Structure 1
Amino acid sequence: MKIAFVASPRLAAQRALQELSGRYGQAAAEEADFIVTIGGDGTALKALHDASAMPAMPVFAMRTDSSEGFLCNSLRTDDLTARLQAAFSVELPVLQAEIEQVEGRSQVLFGINEIVLNRQVFQQAKLKVAVNGEGDLMIINGDGLVLTTPLGSTGYNRSLGGPLLPLGSSLLALTGIAIWRPPAWSPVVLSDRATLDVEVIEAAHHPVQIVTTSGTVPNISRARLFRSPDRTVTLLFDREAQSRFGPPFGRSC
């Protein structure tokens, strides 16, 4: 069994990395059977982003005592091989953003939990938004928007007053950040087959950036956001961690 360990730079995680890699070896990620992270949810999400380019590469996250770890299993070093073999796997969606910047450059970003569009300066963002290219356009003034998966709905989205989506559901949430207009704005629940087209109004004077845990792209002029049709990630849980969530959690593999 080949394992690629990825650890937070914190001292406790680095100590665990040294012990685990000494006991089980350290494989390159592209050659591994499993990626095992040591730290918290941030370390796990970074590994999931990296694994999204490697089909079927499972990630098993372990939480150090000083870290937050909704996605994580408990940290133990003595029975890892057995835990990996017995782990329950869930398949999670990946969000995709096709982006055009003000100067005309195009980029693609991926997000496991959410994609955030927010203002870069003090001035509010002015956004023209269409869902599935149909119906009336929404003109939104505020600090930005968050498109989130069910997994991401438990984090930043929830702190903004967005809906908590059932884990494993085929839904996305579109939640505003300090929306000033329209005054009756409220979060929107969408099918995960929906496509969100966003145009930044007066982008040179009201600059907007897109942020995911995999990167930030500034000075956006327009973006198309949707669930990636050909990328998913696989997260592993032992039975102890799985019991925290209750059914359903993701899609079992």
Structure 2
Amino acid sequence: MKIAFRASPKPGAQGALKELSGRYGQTPAAEADFIVTIGGDGTALEALHEALTMPAKPVFAMRTDGSVGSFCNSFRTHDLTERLHAASRVQLPVLQAEIEQAGGRSQVLFAINEIVLNRQVFQQAKLKVAVDGEGDPMIINGDGLVLTTPLGSTAFNRTLGGPLLPLGSSLLALTGIAIRRPAVWSPVVLSDHAILDVEVIAAAHRPVQIATTSGTVLNISRARLFRSPDRTVTLLVDREDESLCTPFGRQC
């Protein structure tokens, strides 16, 4: 079995990396059977983004002491091989943002947890939002919006009062950041087939950026957000780790 280890820069994680790589070896990710992370959710997300370029490369995340690691498995060193073979495989959706900047340049970003649209200056953003091109677009005034996958629903989305989505469900959450108008705004649960078209109103005076774990694009004029039709990543879930299963409403 070939394993590529990735670790947080924290001393505890680096010490664990030395122990694990000494016991199991260290293989380049492109040649490995598994990517194993040591740290917290941030380290795991970096590895999942790395796996985007290597289809079907599973990621097994382990949390170290002091890390929240809401989708990480417990840390142990002695039975890693057995755990990797026994773990449940969860296919995670990947969000895609097709972006047009104010100057006309086009870019594409991918996200495994969330896509965040937020204001760049003191003035609140003014956004015209349409879902699946149906009905009248909604005009939203506020600090921004967050489109979240089930994996990302435990993080920033939750601090904003957004819903917790079951891991493995075919759902997305659209949650507002300090929405002023409409006054009746509340978080929305969408099918993962939904397509969001967002236009920035008065972009020159109320600039907006899009941010994901993989990058940030400034001064956008419009964006189309949706689940990527041809990209997924695989997270390995330790069957015995109830602390990971329970928050996502799953039975491992």
Q: Which moved further from structure 2: 16-25 or 139-148?
A: 16-25
SS of equivalent to 1:13: helix
Contact 1:72–1:241 (8 Å) recurs in 2: no
* Match of residue 21 from structure 2: 21
Give the drift of 1:235. Answer: 0.6
What does residue range 39-78 of structure 1 map to in structure 2 within 5 Å?
39-78=39-78
Query: CA RMSD, aligned part only?
Result: 1.6
2:78 is the counterpart of 1:90: no
Structure 2: gaps (5+ residues): none
Assess if the C-alpha contact under 8 Å between 1:41 and 1:72 holds in 2: yes
- Show CA shifts across 1:117-160 (max 9, x none): 00111110111111111210111110000111122222211111
Whole-angstrom CA distance in 2 between matches of 1:79 and 1:146: 38
Q: Distance in 2 between matches of 1:196 and 1:53?
A: 25
Please, which moves more after superposition, 45-54 or 6-15? 45-54
Distance (whole Å) between structure 2 residues aligned to residue 249 and residue 242 of structure 1:
9
Query: 1:90, 1:249 within 8 Å by CA — same for their partners in 2?
Result: no
Per-residue Cα deviation, 1:197-240 (whole angstroms, up to 9, x for no partner): 00111111111111111111111111000011011111112222
State the Cα deviation string for residues 7-52 of structure 1 (Å, max 9, x = none). Answer: 1010011111111111111111111100000000110011111112
- Local SS of the residue matching 2:130: strand
Specify the alignment match of 2:182 in structure 1: 182
Q: Deviations over 1:149-189 (max 9, x none)?
A: 12222221111111222332211111110011111111111
- Measured after TM superposition, the shift of residue 190 of structure 1 is 1.0
Structure 1 stretches lacking a partner, 5+ long: none
Q: Determine the C-alpha separation between the residues in 2 that align with 1:201 and 1:67.
A: 40
In 2, Cα distance between equivalents of 1:218 and 1:13: 34
| Residues 125 and 141, structure 1, Cα contact 8 Å, conserved in 2 | yes
3-state SS of paired residue (1:71): coil
Matches within 5 A, 1:1-253: 1-242=1-242, 244-246=244-246, 249=250
Q: Is the 8 A contact 2:17 2:38 kept in 1?
A: yes
Distance in 2 separating the partners of 1:199 and 1:226 = 15
Alpha-carbon spacing, 1:249–1:228, altered in 2? closer, same or farther (3 Å) = farther
What residue identity is the alignment partner of 2:127? L
SS at match of 1:74: coil
Quote the sequence identity (%). 79
What is the CA-CA distance between 1:90 and the residue it aligns to? 0.9
How many aligned positions are there?
251
Q: Give the TM-score taking structure 2 as reference length.
A: 0.95
* TM-score, scaled to structure 1: 0.95
Q: For the Cα contact (< 8 Å) 1:168–1:248, is it kept in 2?
A: no
Kindly state the Cα deviation for residue 68 of structure 1 after the two structures are TM-superposed. 1.1
Measured in 1, the distance between the counterparts of 2:124 and 2:243 equals 42
